[in-house]
Structure 1
Amino acid sequence: MTWDYNNHEGRAATIVDGGRRVVSYASDGMVLEDGTSVADSDAIGWRAECSCGWKAPLMFERVSDPSAALKPWQVFETEGGWAPKEIEDICHTEWLDHVRPEMGIDAVRQAAEDHRLSGERLDGSVAEARQRGVSWADIGKAVGVTRQTAHERWKALSQNPR
């Protein structure tokens, strides 16, 4: 499974010996970046990764021995291949932490664009109101500023000298 946000595609990547990453799964095993096929049982663990090159600092290690005492970063898994659901969920959370700053700046960009557009609408509304003869005092009152402040801000838009 992959997760998308803007130019980021995250995944719980399956890792084999040598830190090599699985790029696809086939009926007869897994395919590595270099095109080599390996058995599902060759998986040594899973790590959250992103298409931008980011990799989570921790790899969850696959342990196939049921009698082993597991450390917090180890997972009992007999088959290999795809990440178990609980590991995929943890990887997704790690990836979300990675993209969260971009999500925040995107919200700022959107708010700035909304602000620009609303300013343009307000300027247009003031210009139209002035063309219809509305006073600076009434415009100021509608906007929540003084007559003088309204006049100073929008006098260049006004063709009505009143």
Structure 2
Amino acid sequence: MVDGVDYEVVEIGRRPNDDRRRPSAEIVGWLLRCDCASRSSSAVSTWTDPVQWARVPSASLEDLARHRVFAPDSDVDADDRPEVAEAARAVWQRDHLDPLDVEAEIRAAADARREADARLDVAVARARRLGRSWADIGAAAGMTRQSANERWRDRV
């Protein structure tokens, strides 16, 4: 507070005492921003939410789903409120982190598919050892007798 005016940092400077400040009453909104490294590489990913979170003048106008946040002049640190922080975190997760992790999701799905294919191969080999026909195996696998035979005849 300087001369009775509460100031907020609007941009963090690169050096000490280099922050840009603005009186709290003049803060009209916030932008979500993240500079982070992707989990799968060391490359830095910079993201800024394209929608500004607008400051509204009364609690009755607050609508977090529409990025409208009430913050009185005495408390413009709206992210200190758990419900505001959670709403912002959900946007950040959905719009920034989830797209970064899509490669991990693909790897996990591919691993699961390989494991399922291996289990299926073992089950088909067991069925053949027990004398089941290709027609029975195909029906159980959701394919024709011929497709089942072509897929597994060299593996059993």
Q: TM-score band, normalised by the shorter chain?
A: 0.5 to 0.7
- Summarize the Cα distance change of 1:77–1:116 in structure 2 as closer, same or farther, 3 Å threshold: farther
Q: TM-score, normalised by structure 1?
A: 0.52
- Which whole-Å CA distance do the structure 1 matches of 2:139 and 2:53 have between them? 61
Note the C-alpha offset of 1:117: 1.4
Gaps of 5+ in 2: 1-7, 37-44, 59-67
Please give the per-residue CA displacement for 1:37-74, whole angstroms capped at 9, x wherever unaligned: 98x997756432223321223265699xx9xxxxx677
Query: 49, 58, 81: which is aligned to 1:56?
Result: 49
Aligned ranges 1:12-91 → 2 under 5 Å? 16-17=9-10, 19-20=11-12, 34-36=15-17, 46-50=30-34, 51=36, 52-57=45-50, 58=52, 60=54, 75-81=71-77, 83-85=79-81, 87-91=84-88
Q: How many residues align?
A: 124
Gaps of 5+ in 1: 1-14, 21-31, 67-71
- Summarize the Cα distance change of 1:128–1:36 in structure 2 as closer, same or farther, 3 Å threshold: farther
Q: Is the 8 A contact 2:9 2:22 kept in 1?
A: no
- Which whole-Å CA distance do the structure 2 matches of 1:109 and 1:47 have between them? 32
Q: Is the 8 A contact 1:62 1:77 kept in 2?
A: no
| Residue in 1 that maps onto 2:91 | 94
Q: Is the 8 A contact 1:60 1:75 kept in 2?
A: no
- Summarize the Cα distance change of 1:41–1:62 in structure 2 as closer, same or farther, 3 Å threshold: farther
Note the C-alpha offset of 1:122: 0.5
Note the C-alpha offset of 1:148: 1.8
Amino acid paired to 1:48: L
| Residue in 2 that maps onto 1:149 | 147
Q: Is the 8 A contact 2:30 2:53 kept in 1?
A: yes
Please give the per-residue CA displacement for 1:55-108, whole angstroms capped at 9, x wherever unaligned: 223265699xx9xxxxx6774331455634254344224313313752883555
Amino acid paired to 1:150: A
- Summarize the Cα distance change of 1:53–1:62 in structure 2 as closer, same or farther, 3 Å threshold: farther
- Judging by fraction of residues, say which structure has more strand: 1
Q: TM-score, normalised by structure 2?
A: 0.54
- Which whole-Å CA distance do the structure 2 matches of 1:124 and 1:111 have between them? 20
